[in-house]
């Protein structure tokens, strides 16, 4: 769900519980889809329709638990709670917008008391807790959402609930935007993405004042409700038929050749290459593939959620300056004054836990590009030597920037090795590693198996060690 300053939406569990029999796409159906929709539309469909929250309790990446579910009957919407003129007008506007798409179903605002299949609740948090018979999580944040709708044995949606807390002051356009977004998503498109800032499915808070369904959104809905997309179609089946046009496969041989030329020109040490192979690649939650490179797609703007101690702000600033220097001309880290649009946030953590638990990154699931991150650092009450604290913060920064979290200590690295307050902040190998990883020639989505084939022509690569690590 989007980040909202004034209202939040709760849609209860999308269609992860959908369990109709698996469907297959015929060659004719695949070809018709390719003839009707351009690659970007097919890609965006995959991103938003086959979405599963990695933090969901029953989340299992690529295990067949993500299937197409949609409506096969007209939708009658009943409104409960705070039925203001503005709320009703926004709902009517959203219904009208969706009905112009010529889908095989229609949406209606209902006045009847029975037979309605979408129930929209407006009201305070307490009202929603009572009426929806579910407890909202403590400290519910504006960028979170959850929900539920019922699905019949054939996999078609039967009933849905939308809850909108409107106890905060909000403008009519903001309320209208949220209603349109959530009504669209309960049609069978639960996912958000960072790919298109004007889209109704844009993950973060959009600068667009008045949301409308852009053409890309309309195409996703029309593809979902086309005769070629059957209820029960799995993520794996769709991926198998369209993987050649999805963005992650579009890296050319020339891109890998450019990377090889860069490696030859820089003459990195064997130790740096070993570090790179251990720290530079991550598994994807959504694509069956070799571990791959995942990097930030744009400049990284940071802010502080809590009041950070001055000494910590100095340590953070010093680390950012160091990283920028090693990266070179491309400055990827700078402070953002408007907190709600920052894409990296620093928090304080009160408890004494391993720092390795505290870095977090969010990425676009197809493009292997990181879009958002947060770092939890221990409160100043936890006594840690300043030099060690600085190393820990730097390590967390590098993990958020795309490096793999290491559970072992790497001897040739200061930052990925055992944290020692009495040694330099970075080793020479660490400095080379950072400049290698942020090279323009190393692209998001490059796979480990292809990179290894390049490197083994020029370096000694221990294949047995690599295989053990991936297991």
Question: For the packed helices 215-224 and 39-49, what is the interaxial angle rounded to 10 degrees?
Answer: 70
- Cα of 71 vs its chain's centroid, Å: 26
Among 218-227, 348-357, 427-436, the range scoring the smallest mean pLDDT is 348-357
Under the banding of pLDDT at 50, 70 and 90, the label for residue 145 is very low
In this predicted structure, what is the pLDDT of residue 374? 80
Domains of the chain: 8-241 (3.40.390.10), 257-470 (3.40.390.10)
Buried b (16+ CB within 10 A) or exposed e, 116-132: bbbbbbbbeeebbeeeb
In this predicted structure, what is the pLDDT of residue 142? 33
- In DSSP notation, 399-412 reads HHTTPPPPSS--TT
Residue 99 to residue 75: CA distance in whole angstroms: 11
> Exposed, middle or buried by CB within 10 Å (0-12, 13-18, 19+), for 207?
exposed
For residue 10 the two structure tokens come to 């709760």
For residue 373 the two structure tokens come to 């991150």
* Composition of the chain by helix, strand, coil, percent to 5: 35, 15, 50
Among 141-155, 392-406, 423-437, the range scoring the smallest mean pLDDT is 141-155
Measured CA to CA in angstroms, residue 148 lies from 12, 61, 258 at distances of 3, 20, 48
- Between these two residues, 295 and 33, which has the higher pLDDT value? 33
Q: Per-residue pLDDT tens for 359-402?
A: 556 666 677 777 778 887 776 666 677 788 888 888 888 988 88
Q: Per-residue pLDDT tens for 84-94?
A: 888 898 899 99
For residue 53 the two structure tokens come to 């929250």
Dihedral sign of CA atoms 406, 409, 412, 415 in order: positive
Under the banding of pLDDT at 50, 70 and 90, the label for residue 96 is very high
Contact 223, 37 (CB under 8 A): yes
Q: Is the pTM of this model over 0.75?
A: no
Buried b (16+ CB within 10 A) or exposed e, 328-358: eeeebbeebeeeeebbbbbebbeeeeebeeb
For residue 177 the two structure tokens come to 């935007």
């Amino acid at each position: 769900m989007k980040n909202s300053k004034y209202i939040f939406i709760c849609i209860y569990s999308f269609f992860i519980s959908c369990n109709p029999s698996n469907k297959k796409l015929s060659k004719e159906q695949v070809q018709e889809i390719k003839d009707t929709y351009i690659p970007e539309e097919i890609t965006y469909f995959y991103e938003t329709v086959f979405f599963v929250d990695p933090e969901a309790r029953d989340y299992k990446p690529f295990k067949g638990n993500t299937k197409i579910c949609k409506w096969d009957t007209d939708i009658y919407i009943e409104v409960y709670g705070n039925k203001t003129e503005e709320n009703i007008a926004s709902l009517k506007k959203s219904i009208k917008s969706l009905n112009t798409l010529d889908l095989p179903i229609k949406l209606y605002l209902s006045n009847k008391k029975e037979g309605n299949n979408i129930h929209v609740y407006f009201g305070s948090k307490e009202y929603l807790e009572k009426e929806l018979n579910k407890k909202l999580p403590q400290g519910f944040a504006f960028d979170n959402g959850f929900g539920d709708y019922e699905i019949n044995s054939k996999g078609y949606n039967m009933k849905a609930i939308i809850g909108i807390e409107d106890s905060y002051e909000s403008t009519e356009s903001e309320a209208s935007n949220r209603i349109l977004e959530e009504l669209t998503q309960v049609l069978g498109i639960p996912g958000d993405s960072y790919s298109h800032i004007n889209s109704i499915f844009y993950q973060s808070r959009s600068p667009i004042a008045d949301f409308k369904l852009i053409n890309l959104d309309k195409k996703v809905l029309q593809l979902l409700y086309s005769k070629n997309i059957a209820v029960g179609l799995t993520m794996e089946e769709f991926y198998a038929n369209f993987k050649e046009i999805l963005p992650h496969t579009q890296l050319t041989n020339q891109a890998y050749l450019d990377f090889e030329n860069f490696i030859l020109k820089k003459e990195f040490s064997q130790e740096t290459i070993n570090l790179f192979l251990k720290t530079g690649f991550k598994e994807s939650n959504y694509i069956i593939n070799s571990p791959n490179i995942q990097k930030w797609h744009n400049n990284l703007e940071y802010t502080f959620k809590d009041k950070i101690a001055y000494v910590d702000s100095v340590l953070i600033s010093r680390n950012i300056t160091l990283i920028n220097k090693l990266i070179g001309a491309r400055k990827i880290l700078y402070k953002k004054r408007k907190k709600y649009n920052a894409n990296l946030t620093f928090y304080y953590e009160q408890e004494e836990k391993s720092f390795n638990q505290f870095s977090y990154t969010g990425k676009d699931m197809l493009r292997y590009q990181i879009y958002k991150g947060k770092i939890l650092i221990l409160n100043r009450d936890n006594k840690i030597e300043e030099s060690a604290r600085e190393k820990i913060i730097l390590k967390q920064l590098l993990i958020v920037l795309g490096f793999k979290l290491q559970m072992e200590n790497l001897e040739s690295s200061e930052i990925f090795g055992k944290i020692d307050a009495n040694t330099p902040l970075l080793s020479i190998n660490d400095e080379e590693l950072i400049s290698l990883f942020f090279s323009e020639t190393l692209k998001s989505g490059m796979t480990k198996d292809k990179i290894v084939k390049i490197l083994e022509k020029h370096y000694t690569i221990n294949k047995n060690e690599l295989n053990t690590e991936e297991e």
